[in-house]
A and B are shown apart, each in its own frame.
Chain A
């Protein structure tokens, strides 16, 4: 199984812990990643002000994957939705694709609508499967309680994702975490947005959305929050301290990527999974599983 790895903007600069752990987990599972150096922004951040330009950026990245005869594996949910939406829009012949190809032709490229975009969690859930993943585990995470945050763009808009999981009652990430032996805890507001997209517009509003989920999770006694998107991580991990001081709250909730949790169960050490780069310290969390 081979994919072009699409890192996007945030992961290589700000979330090397996600990249490190995703590469380790993929390698262990026999997923081969090809790095395409020319990849640029997926288009998501400018969709809000210029959809046309956003589609051009997406199509450029898709055309590079097509050149390699590969589908795309994404790690960031925002990249996933922007690229999936662009792939969806350009899947058939028509004026939309012709127009984009006019821009791509200036760079000697073209896109013919063939590339599929898959988030790594979806690949693990749909294509790798429980048995193979469990077969790679060396450590039981029994005793840990983990709350899962799906975020928005991993599953929505549902019309571009072939209904691979339910928007209102998602199970894919819960199931992957449960394979490790950890207990997945439910909480109110599980489907709520992290607030991230509002951060460049109104920080106070954005952080108050983030806070609601941290409050909800606090009541469950979860040892950590599991997520699959670097934007969500910026809100729950990087900004957790600011929220604590702004609201006089105390969470101390470690925030781990799904691939870090699976990587722990695979027996990788702390540094190999970039756990030393997580903002909220994971020492106490790791000591619960004897690390």
Chain B
């Protein structure tokens, strides 16, 4: 798991997080590790460890948390959040971290691509005329092949 280097701690990071939805309860974590024990990702890959991410955040290790790839391995399955005895909204907290990381320019290409597709066409999978032909053949209604409203909505 490696050692935690506190020399790079940003004392404001913890306060910033506890003011945001998903971060309110993180200080209540008492390190029982129920989250990690419940996590389907931790079970197959030790790089992802929710209890450790909460610790790093509480220690103010901003870059260590936001610039690392491991936060993106959270599958948002809510197993940890449902079971946390301290009421920490762990999945919502991971989402908060990912949102902050994205704002600072860090996100996996696959995730950024989904955003670009949605901004361009309103869907992650566009519908083309060929899809509509297949849909109609199966007795299903056609769907629009383009979407303009999303540009207005996300302007």
Residues of chain A at the chain B interface (Cβ within 8 Å): 7, 9-10, 12-14, 16, 19-20, 23, 35, 37-38, 40-41, 45-51, 53, 56-57, 60, 103-104, 106-107, 152-153, 156-158, 167-168, 191-193, 195-202, 205-206, 208-209, 212, 274
Distance (Å) between the CB of B7 and the closest chain A CB?
30
The reply to whether A107 and B153 contact each other, CB–CB distance below 8 Å, is yes
Contact across chains for A156 and B143 when beta carbons are under 8 A apart: no
- Provided the pairs A200-B110, A201-B108 are in contact, do residues A46 and B115 lie with their beta carbons within 8 angstroms? yes
Bound complex: CA A106 to CA B77 (Å): 34
List B contacts of A23 (CB < 8 A): 140
CB–CB A200/B108 < 8 A: yes
Q: Of A53, A157, A199, which contacts B81 at CB under 8 A?
A: A157
Q: Contacts A50-B115, A200-B114 known; A209 to B108 CB distance under 8 Å?
A: no
Chain A's nearest CB lies how many Å from the CB of B143?
6
Q: How many residues of B contact A (CB 8 A)?
A: 52
**Contact yes or no, B123 A40, CB < 8 A:** yes
Chain A residues whose C-beta falls within 8 Å of the C-beta of B127 in the assembled complex: 12-13
A45 to B138, CA, bound (A): 28
Q: Are A196 and B75 touching (Cβ within 8 A)?
A: yes
Instruction: Pick the residue among B45, B95, B135, B150 that contacts A57 (CB under 8 A).
Output: B150
Q: Is the Cβ of B73 less than 8 Å from the Cβ of A201?
A: yes
Q: Contacts A9-B125, A47-B95, A103-B153 known; A193 to B114 CB distance under 8 Å?
A: no
Within B91-135, the residues touching A (CB, 8 Å) are 91-92, 95, 98-99, 102, 107-108, 110-115, 118, 122-127, 131, 134-135
Judging by beta carbons under 8 Å apart, are A16 and B45 in contact? Answer: no
Q: Is the CB of A198 within 8 A of B125?
A: no
